[in-house]
Amino acid sequence: MGEEVEDLVSGVAGRGKGGGRRMVAKAPGKKGLEGLAQKFGLGAGVWNSSDSVLDNVSQPEWVDAGEQVLSPVNEDESAKLKEKLEKEMRQAASRLDFERAARLRDRIFQLESASN
């Protein structure tokens, strides 16, 4: 191989005493990708930035209306609540919020088993 090809391969091709500019990128450091990820709160490890377990647990910002009701007094209230929960369950499923839909389904099952 010629000297010019070797310089190209090593990333220091060019003219001048030191071989010119280096053409190989530096490895990213704190100011590189890791620094940007940390600055903007991106990446897998960012959520676990606290030592407290409670700070790292995600919690819903809202409470289901169906979960607030402990148990209906009579069958009419039970039927109305069941219809309301079924409607909410279908809406949650249409929004692809399957976890909420499953919780509502479980609540409906509890109402049905309590009334039987």
Say which DSSP state 42 is in. -
Establish if 80 belongs to a structural domain: yes
Other CB atoms within 10 A of residue 91 CB: 13
Are 91 and 69 within 8 A, CB to CB?
no
pTM of this structure: 0.39
Tell me, yes or no, whether 6 lies in a domain.
no
Residue 30 lies in a domain: no
pLDDT averaged per 10 residues, the chain (length 116):
67 59 59 64 58 56 53 76 92 91 91 77
* Structural domain of 85: 65-115
The token duo for 60 is 């819903």
Residue 25 located in a structural domain: no
